[in-house]
């Protein structure tokens, strides 16, 4: 009933290679460490970042519109109710290009 994960060895090999190539890990690495903090200094920048997150599934070709992605808060920003519990922020008037 509890069959072992078929990709286990492959995944461990990939994580081990990433860990050996990292200056901060010795054995395994699962997450990338190359993200950089961005200062969110205005409501307009907050709006831009919300749109960036909402449009990621569109850019990836998963959905045609952001509100179609099942696990996104985009539907909440369109007046609907999605699966993810969110607090919708009032938009600053920023227009997506």
Blockwise average pLDDT, block size 10, the chain, 97 residues: 76 86 76 76 89 94 95 92 86 62
Total-model pTM: 0.59
pLDDT at position 52? 93
pLDDT at position 97? 45
Maximum CA pair distance of the chain?
54
Q: Is 69 left (phi over 0), alpha (psi -120 to 50) or beta?
A: beta
């Amino acid at each position: 009933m509890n069959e072992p994960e078929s990709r286990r060895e492959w995944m461990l090999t990939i994580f081990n290679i990433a860990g050996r190539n990292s200056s901060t890990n010795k054995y395994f690495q699962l997450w990338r460490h190359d993200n950089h903090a961005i200062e969110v200094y205005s409501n307009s920048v907050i709006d831009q970042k919300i749109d960036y997150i909402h449009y990621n599934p569109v850019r990836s070709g998963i959905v045609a519109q952001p509100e179609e992605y099942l696990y996104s808060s985009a539907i909440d920003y369109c007046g609907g109710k999605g699966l993810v519990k969110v607090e919708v922020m009032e938009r600053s008037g920023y227009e997506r290009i």
